[in-house]
Structure formats: C-alpha cells, structure tokens
Chains A and B, each alone.
Chain A
Amino acid sequence: MNKMKAKKSLMFFVTLLVLILFMVPFFILVINTFKTTQEFIQTPFALPKSLNFENFFVAVRRMNFWTALKNTAVVTVAAVLVNTLVSAMTGYLFARKRWKINKFIFMAFLASMVAPFQVYMIPQVKIYAGQMGFSNSLAVVAYIAIGLNIPFAVFLYNGFVEGIPEELDEAARIDGCSFTRTFFLIILPLLKPIIITVTVFVAMGVWNDYLMSSLFLTKQETKTLAIAIKTFLTNHSAEYAPMMAGLLLSIVPVLIFYLAGQKYIIEGVVAGSVKG
C-alpha cells in the first residue's frame, strides 16, 4: 500500500509540474504588467523590481476599457436572455408537439449546425451593415449572436424537455393550466440545469467573440473588449508593458466568473462537443 501511496504522490508532483509549465504564459503576462517597457524587454522572465500600476491606467485609458467592458456585457447579457427565452420555448414546443412542421424545422436546425461561421459572415455584413445600415449597432451583434446559437440551444432544451415526464403537463392541464402557463410555471423552473449549461456556452462564445463583432463594430464607442484590445495592440505597437496590462485586464472579468463557477463553466463550454 505504501508503494501505491508513493506512486500517487509522484504522479501528483509530475502533474503539478506540468500544470506549472502549462501556466507559464500567464505568469509571464502577470509579472510583466508591473514593469516598464524597458525592463520588460531586458528581463522578461524576472520578477518586477517594483509594483508599478501605471501600465494599468495607461491601458484603461487607451483601450477605453470601461466602455468596452460595458459594451461586451450589454451584448452578452442581451444575447443570453433572448436566446434562453426563445430557444427554451421552442425546445419545449418541439418536444411536446410532434407536428410535421416542428420535426422538419428541428431537422433543419440540426443541419444548419454543421456550417462554419465563415459561410454567413460576408452576406450578414452585406445585409445588416450594408443594406440595412446597422453598422456599429450592438443590438445587431447581439441579434446575430442569438441566431447563431439558436439551433444548438433548441437542440439541448428539446433533449432536456423530452426527459421530463409528459404526465407533469397532463396534471397541470387537468388543473386548468394553459400550454403557456404550464411552460412558465411548471417546466421552466425544471430547466435550470440546462439553462445554466446553455447560458455558459452562449455567454462565453459571445463574450470572447472577435470575428463577428469586429465586422460590425468599428467605432471606438461601440467596441467590445476583444476588439478594443486588438486595436490598442495594433495602434500603439511600441508600448509593450501597457499592452500586457491591457491583456490582463481583458482576462480578469472572465477569470472572476471562472473562479466562482468553474464546474458549470467547464460543463457549459464543453457542451458544444455533444452536438451531432
């Protein structure tokens, strides 16, 4: 047994060592946020000589950090709320009413999940930014994010509702509940676990999205975090230390959520792999 224990501790230390190596990029990022650009170039691996917070102030100003944070939060929250509501309702409808049209639309949803975003991006820009003139609209970015996530969300909600016994709906109907009331009063509360999963998946995708958002949001005051950091880094290409601070600042909001609910977040992000 002792041999077993020794083997376990050895495994533990090997894995720990691998994790530390794995995290090196983040350590380098953090230690260099406190240095001057000069110090960063000369000794990138050393600990900072002093704790200098100036870089953060520069980054906040140059990136328009608070505006970008607000924009990212607005788009993410709007996309998650609307997506949850419409997808959960549709998932419920498709699970309970097996009409031909529902089956057909559900299959079409599934089929549309295989296409990569690149197939839609050019026409979406042409339609929404070009013909309809919605460039620099956070609402349009949220709207497209909702649409892109609908098939997947409906798929998950539908599967979850199918696991809820239909007798529950029957009982509610006998008690005089309409279809709508049954959904909102009986079913929706039961969907909590899957709502968390889908919310995390959609929220992480929207929060971290660069490509789609960047096609629509070009004005300083509409930029989200991912776009703001990109422009900051491309426009001020000699101030490495403030850039490191900007990168760290962009990570912090997600990291706070991750520390609070890593179990749900891992589950939610990986939910994408169940499709198909």
Chain B
Amino acid sequence: MSKQAARKLRSVMQFAGFGLPAVFIWVTVIIIPFIYGIWITFTDWNGLALDINYVGLDNYVAVFSDATFITSFLKTVIYAVFTVIASNVAGFLLALAVTNGIKAQGLFRAGFFTPNIIGGIILGYIWNFIFSYALTGFGKAAGIEWMSTSWLTHPARALIALIIVSSWQMSGYLMVIYIAGLTNVPGELTEAAKVDGATGWQVIRKIKIPCIRNTIAICVFLSIARTFMSFDMNLSLTAGGPYKSTELIAYKIYQTAFTSMEFGKGQAQAMVLFVIVAVISLLQVYFTRKGAEN
C-alpha cells in the first residue's frame, strides 16, 4: 500500500471512530425526522388510517385559514411582548442590584436563579395551586373581589397569570446573562463618571446600558425565542384554558397533533413555528455580530 493510501485510510478510520457516532445519532434523531416532517405536511395522515394520501398544500392552507391558529399566534405575540419586556427589565434590575457590591451576592444570584433548575411542569403546578386556591382564599377572606375567583378561570387574567409566571422564571435566567455583561463594564469608566458627579441613574443610563448593548440583544432575542417555544408552563398552569383562550402556539401544535390526531396539519403548524424561531435566531446572530463589530 502506498503511503498516501495509508494516510487516506487512517483519515477514514479517524472519521469513522470520532465523527461517525455523533453524526449517525444526529442524522437519525434530527435530519431524518426533519425531512420526514416536511413530507408529512403534504399528507392527510391521522395516525390510524393505513392509506395515506397526498393532499398537496391543503395542510398549509388549512393552517392559515384556521381562525383558532391565528388567534393562538396573536395570543403568543401578546404573551411574548409582555413576558420579554417584564423579564428583561426585572432581570436587568436584579443584575444591577447584585453587582453593586452588596453582601451575600452569591446567595442572591442562586436564589433568583432557582426557578430555572426546576421543570416548567412543576413550576406551573405550584402557581396553579397558588392562583386557584391560595389567592382565592386570601381574596375571599380579605373581601377583594378580583382575587376571590381564580384568575385561571378568566380568559384575560389567565393569560396575565401565564405572563407573570413566565417572567418570574425567566428573569433569574436573564439576570445571570446581564451579570456577565455588567461585570465586563470597565470599572474605571463608572468610577470616573462618579468622580465627575454623575448620579447612579446617569451611570446606568449613560455608561452601563451602552456598554452592554450586545448582552441586551442576546437577552431580548433569547427571551423572544423561549416565549415562542413555551409549552410546559402553558400545559400545567392553564392547560390552554379557560375555553382554549390561552393556547399558545407550541401548545396548539401539540393539541392539533396529539389530541385531534391531525398530524399533517400539526406538522404544518410546526413548520410555521420553525420559520418564526429561525428568523428570530438569524436576527439575533445578525444583531450580535453587528454589535461586536462596533
């Protein structure tokens, strides 16, 4: 065997040993289902029927002419807007508070982060009990009318509950990213500003925020993507109710596919979500790259 052939063989062996296992798993778990999924959107497969028929673009037409899907999409947008704003503001303020040189910073950090180590299903149920029983009990005892019936039985309030709980969870997560950004702000800059008589608020607005623009972009896009994919909490806190009024898009997809058994339509809805999330991710890459260049 020539030297070159031997080297080639060695490279092939190296690829087979080091690359192939991961590539094989990835192809079977991600690539094949992805392609297969596209195919499913062109069929009327319902999980039971043996003969599967091609229906062309019918599923996509059905998705876009389905008023409940459009409503679900709009609800998701409302949910996303409020959750993203609330969790980013809260996360940023928490990060400011725990990077200010106060005592027990590590404890605060760990404390505010706690909801992120627990599954959304469990968190949703804890809050479900709070909204359904604890708050109503308190409301009745104190004679506060809007607290004496469960928020989860009222369409608008149920969505607000979902926003509150999601923001509660996500603020601790975003806090950690904001902390990383804030600790990179040069200390000399803030010190110099203080010597020149800048107030704490001015230091935050004129120095800290401009310095962490990139971090803000990451946090905002990350939280947008997460809100659009939100499922667990939707299931355990409101279960889409009352009267399907809080079915966010990821939950809607699940319902279409596994409750109504309309797999083709469910997969077409999933493709819509895919496009939304992909666009958000690409925008994130674009904006953070641009920020890094400046």
Task: Give the interface SS of chain A, mostly helix, strand, loop or mixed.
Answer: helix
Choose from B117, B122, B219 the contact partner of A229 (Cβ within 8 Å).
Answer: B122
A contact residues around B94 at 8 Å (CB): 18
B62-70, B73-81, B155-163, B266-274 - interface stretch: B266-274
Interchain CA distance A26-B118 in the complex, whole Å:
11
* Contact call A229/B125, Cβ cutoff below 8 A: yes
- What is the distance, in angstroms, from A68's C-beta to the closest C-beta of chain B? 13
Interchain CA distance A183-B17 in the complex, whole Å:
12
* Contact call B120/A102, Cβ cutoff below 8 A: no
Q: How many residues of A contact B (CB 8 A)?
A: 90
* Contact call B19/A208, Cβ cutoff below 8 A: no
- What is the distance, in angstroms, from B94's C-beta to the closest C-beta of chain A? 8
* Contact call A90/B18, Cβ cutoff below 8 A: yes
* Contact call B28/A269, Cβ cutoff below 8 A: no
Task: Give the interface SS of chain B, mostly helix, strand, loop or mixed.
Answer: helix
* Contact call B17/A89, Cβ cutoff below 8 A: yes
Give the contacts of B1-54 with A (CB-CB under 8 A): 10-11, 14-15, 17-19, 21-23, 25-26, 28-34, 36-37, 40, 45, 47
* 10 A-B residue pairings within 8 Å (CB atoms): A29-B126, A90-B19, A102-B15, A122-B37, A124-B33, A127-B32, A150-B25, A150-B26, A250-B119, A269-B116
State the 4 A-B residue pairs at the shortest beta-carbon distance, nearest first: A147-B29, A208-B119, A123-B33, A44-B134
- What is the distance, in angstroms, from A191's C-beta to the closest C-beta of chain B? 14
* Contact call A211/B36, Cβ cutoff below 8 A: no
Chain B interface size band reads 35 or more
CB of A168 within 8 Å of the partner chain: no
CB of A40 within 8 Å of the partner chain: yes
B contact residues around A230 at 8 Å (CB): 121, 235-236
* Contact call B102/A11, Cβ cutoff below 8 A: yes
B contact residues around A94 at 8 Å (CB): 19
Given contacts A8-B102, A124-B33, A250-B122, contact A243 B22 (CB under 8 A): no
Binary CB contact string for chain A from 116 to 127 against chain B (1 if under 8 A, 0 otherwise): 111111111011
Interchain CA distance A207-B278 in the complex, whole Å:
26
B contact residues around A77 at 8 Å (CB): none
Binary CB contact string for chain B from 92 to 131 against chain A (1 if under 8 A, 0 otherwise): 0010011011111010111111101111111101110110
* Contact call B263/A126, Cβ cutoff below 8 A: yes
Binary CB contact string for chain A from 245 to 276 against chain B (1 if under 8 A, 0 otherwise): 00100110011001000110110011001001
